[in-house]
Structure 1
Amino acid sequence: MTLDAQRPDHAPSDHPALRHGRTGILLANLGTPDGTDYWSMRRYLSEFLSDKRVIDYPKWKWQPILQGIILTKRPFASGKAYKSIWNEERDESPLMTITRDQTDAIRAALTADYGDQVMVDFCMRYGNPSTASKVREMVAAGCTRILFFPLYPHYAGATSATANDQFFRALMEETWQPTARVVEPYFENPAYIDALAQSVEKAYSETDTPPEMLVVSYHGMPQRYLTQGDPYHCQCQKTTRLLRERLGWDKDRITTTFQSVFGPEEWLRPYTVEEVARLARDEGKTRIAVIAPAFSADCIETLEEINEEIRESFEEAGGESFTYIPCLNDTPDHVAALTAIIRENLGGWVA
C-alpha cells in the first residue's frame, strides 16, 4: 500500500504532488538463482563469486579461473544440488520462499502497529529481487527513511558487509537519498538466543532417545579473514556459549564447527563434515543433532549440505541417528524476535 501523492505544505500551486514521509524497512538475505538450469546457475554464481568481499583475490588472477574453469562445470553440480531442494510448487528456492514468508509476517506485525507509516519488503544481495530495485520502489513510494536489515545474526565481511555495500551503492543512484539506518548484528540478542534454544528443546523432545551431542555448525570463512580483523568467529563462539547457558547444559554436550569450505586456503576449524565423522568414529557418538544458527532461513547450505552431505559423512563413520534442527525460518518466536529488533531500531522515526 502506498500513500497518495500530495503537494508539500506551503508549496506553490503548480508544485508537483509527491509521496513523502514514509519509513521503509528493507530485509536483505544472500540470494538465490532464478532457476536450476545451467545459465541461471552460472549468472548467480558469477555474481556471487565475483564479489571481492567473498573472494578477495586480485581480479586479474581470479576472473580467468572463475569464468574459464569454475563456471564451466560448477553450475551443473550446483544446479543438481538446488534441484534436490527446489520448491517446485512456487518454482523457487526455499530461501526465497522462507524470506518472503518472514517478510509477510513482519509486515503484518508492523502494519498493525504503524499503519501506512511503514513499508516492509525484502531484497537479495545476489540475484532477484535486487537491492537497487527495492530501494527504488521504496523511494518512489515516498520513503524518506529506510531501515536496512541484513538477515545475518553474525557480522562477516562476506555477508553483512557486502549486503551493506550494495545498499549504499543503491542509495548513490538516488537523486534525493532517503535517510538510512542499518541494523547491527543480533548474535547475542536474548530473544534470538531463546528462539534457538526453543528449537533445540522441541527437536530433542521429539526424539525417542536424545542426541548425545549438539553440533552448532556455522558457515565458514578463510582463517586469514579472522586474522585481518573480521569478528565473525568470535561472535559465533559467543552464540554457542549463550545457547548452552540458556539450555543449562555442560560444555561436553555441545560443540562449534564450520562448514562450506571453498578453495585451497585454510578455513575456520573444525570443519563440520570432518567433525561429525570424528565424533562417530573416535568418540562413539552415534546420536547427534546439528543446528545452523548463522542462517536465518533454510537454504542450500542447510537443506542440501547439512542434511545430505554432512549426514552422510556421519553415517558412513558409524553414526546411527542424525537430527537436523531447521533454521528459525518464519516461526512465530523468530518473527517476534526480528520484529522487536526492528521496532527498537525505528526509535524516533515512527510513532
Structure 2
Amino acid sequence: MIMEKPADHPILPARKVGVLFANLGTPDGYDYWSMRRYLNEFLSDKRVIDYPAWKWQPILQGIILTKRPFSSGEAYKSIWNEDLGESPLMTITKQQITKLQAALEKRYGTEVMTDFCMRYGNPSTKSKVREMVAAGCDRILFFPLYPQYAGATMGTANDQFFRALMDEAWQPASRTIPPYFDDPAYVDALAQSVERGYAAMEQKPDLLVVSYHGMPERYLQQGDPYHCQCQKSTRLLKERLGWGDDDITTTFQSVFGPEEWLKPYTVKEVARLAKAGKKNIAVIAPAFSADCIETLEEIQEEIQEAFVEAGGESFTYIPCLNDDDAHIAALMGVAERNLAGWLE
C-alpha cells in the first residue's frame, strides 16, 4: 500500500547525483581588497601554512597582507581577462565544466548535475554543495582537479567539502576521487600536448623542464606523497614519449617563506641549464589542470626571464591541458570509474 504524504510535507526534488569539480581559486579582482581577502583565506589555511596561529597570524595580518596584495594584484592584472572581468583560471575552468557537463549528460542523462567550486574565493564549496543538495542530489562525487595528491591542494579541497557537508541537515552520500597522476588517459593527454608543442617548434628543445608547484621538504618527511607522485608523473610521461633521461627533468616552482622546499627550484635550475649550454628549453606544468597565475605569470615571465638573463636563447611554454578534448576524456574516465554503483 502506497502511503500518501501529509499535505504539509516538504516538497522533495527528483533524486540526482552531483559531480562537483573543484579548483584552487581566484580573487574576484586584482584590486587591493579583493587580493587581500583572497590571500587571507589562502594563507590562513593550516594545510598551506602549518605554523601555529599565534606565530603566523601576526606576520600574515601585520606584514604580508599589508604589502603582498599590491604585488600579487599587479601580477594578476598582467594576465587578467578584462573582457570577462575574471582571471584566466576562472575562464578556463568554466570552459572545462561546460565540456564535462555535456559529456556527463550525454553519458547519464538528467540523473547527473555537474558544477564547479573553488577552494578559495568564489564560487565557494559550501555554496555549491548547498545548491546540489537543494536540487535533489543525495549523492555527490567531489572531484578536485589535481592530478597529484598534496595536502595543500587535494587535501584541503576535500577538507572544505567535508566541512560543507557538516552544515547539511540531510547529508548526501559522498565520494572523493583518488589522485589520477598515473591514469593512462591523463598521461597520454599530457604526452599529446608535448608532441604538439614540439611539432610546432622550428628547433627541437635541448630539454623539457617539467615544473611542478613546490612544497616544503618537511611535508615529504611527514608523509605527503606529492613529491613521489610528481617524480612518477615525469617518468610515465618520459616513457610514453619514448624519451631518455637526458631529454626531460623535474623541477619545483613557487617557493614561499624561509624553509627549504622541494628541489631543484625551477627558477634557479633554468638559469643553471642556460649557463651549462642548454640554450633551447621547453617547460610544462603538469600539476596544474588549467593555466593560472603560476603558469601565465610566474613561468612565462619570472622563470623565462631568469633563463634568458643566464644566456638562454629559446624558451617555450607548453600550456596546461585546459579544455583540450583528450584532457576532458581523461577526466570523464576518472569520473565514470568513481560513479560506478551510483550511475550505470
TM bucket, shorter chain: over 0.9
Name the residue aligned to 2:91: 97
Does residue 151 (structure 1) correspond to residue 145 (structure 2)? The answer is yes
The answer as to whether partners of 1:220 and 1:259 remain within 8 angstroms in 2 is yes
The answer as to whether partners of 1:286 and 1:320 remain within 8 angstroms in 2 is yes
User: Of residues 61, 64, 69 in structure 1, which corresponds to 2:55?
Assistant: 61
Does residue 196 (structure 1) correspond to residue 182 (structure 2)? The answer is no
Listed as ranges, the matches of 1:262-273 within 5 Å are 262-273=256-267
Cα distance in 2, alignment partners of residues 152 and 11 from structure 1: 46
Cα distance in 1, alignment partners of residues 11 and 40 from structure 2: 42
The answer as to whether partners of 1:42 and 1:71 remain within 8 angstroms in 2 is yes
The one-character-per-residue Cα deviations of 1:132-163 (angstroms, maximum 9, x if unpaired) are 00000000000000000000000001001100
Name the residue aligned to 1:186: 180
Does residue 71 (structure 1) correspond to residue 69 (structure 2)? The answer is no
Quote the offset at 1:13 in angstroms: 4.2
SS of residue in 1 equivalent to 2:110: helix
Does residue 87 (structure 1) correspond to residue 81 (structure 2)? The answer is yes
Quote the offset at 1:114 in angstroms: 1.3
The answer as to whether partners of 1:20 and 1:144 remain within 8 angstroms in 2 is no
Does residue 226 (structure 1) correspond to residue 220 (structure 2)? The answer is yes
Quote the offset at 1:285 in angstroms: 0.4
SS of residue in 2 equivalent to 1:215: strand
The one-character-per-residue Cα deviations of 1:224-254 (angstroms, maximum 9, x if unpaired) are 0000000000000000000000000010110
Does residue 168 (structure 1) correspond to residue 154 (structure 2)? The answer is no
Listed as ranges, the matches of 1:1-351 within 5 Å are 10-14=3-7, 15-281=9-275, 283-351=276-344
The answer as to whether partners of 1:154 and 1:236 remain within 8 angstroms in 2 is yes
Percent of aligned pairs with the same amino acid: 74
Give the letter aligned to residue 335 of structure 2: I
Cα distance in 2, alignment partners of residues 237 and 95 from structure 1: 25
Query: RMSD over aligned Cα, in angstroms?
Result: 0.8
Q: How many residues align?
A: 342
Cα distance in 1, alignment partners of residues 199 and 236 from structure 2: 21
SS of residue in 2 equivalent to 1:84: helix
Quote the offset at 1:300 in angstroms: 0.2
For structure 1, list consecutive stretches of 5 or more residues without a partner in the other structure. 1-8
The answer as to whether partners of 1:226 and 1:232 remain within 8 angstroms in 2 is yes
Cα distance in 2, alignment partners of residues 11 and 294 from structure 1: 53
Quote the offset at 1:350 in angstroms: 1.3
Cα distance in 2, alignment partners of residues 105 and 47 from structure 1: 29
Quote the offset at 1:113 in angstroms: 1.5
Give the letter aligned to residue 11 of structure 2: A
The answer as to whether partners of 1:217 and 1:291 remain within 8 angstroms in 2 is yes
Quote the offset at 1:12 in angstroms: 2.4
Cα distance in 1, alignment partners of residues 199 and 181 from structure 2: 25
For structure 2, list consecutive stretches of 5 or more residues without a partner in the other structure. none
Give the letter aligned to residue 273 of structure 1: V
Cα distance in 2, alignment partners of residues 22 and 10 from structure 1: 23
Runs of 4+ in 1 over 3 A off after TM superposition: none
SS of residue in 2 equivalent to 1:122: strand
Name the residue aligned to 1:6: none
SS of residue in 1 equivalent to 2:79: coil
Cα distance in 1, alignment partners of residues 329 and 111 from structure 2: 20
Cα distance in 1, alignment partners of residues 222 and 108 from structure 2: 42
The answer as to whether partners of 1:291 and 1:327 remain within 8 angstroms in 2 is yes
Give the letter aligned to residue 310 of structure 2: A
The answer as to whether partners of 1:29 and 1:151 remain within 8 angstroms in 2 is yes
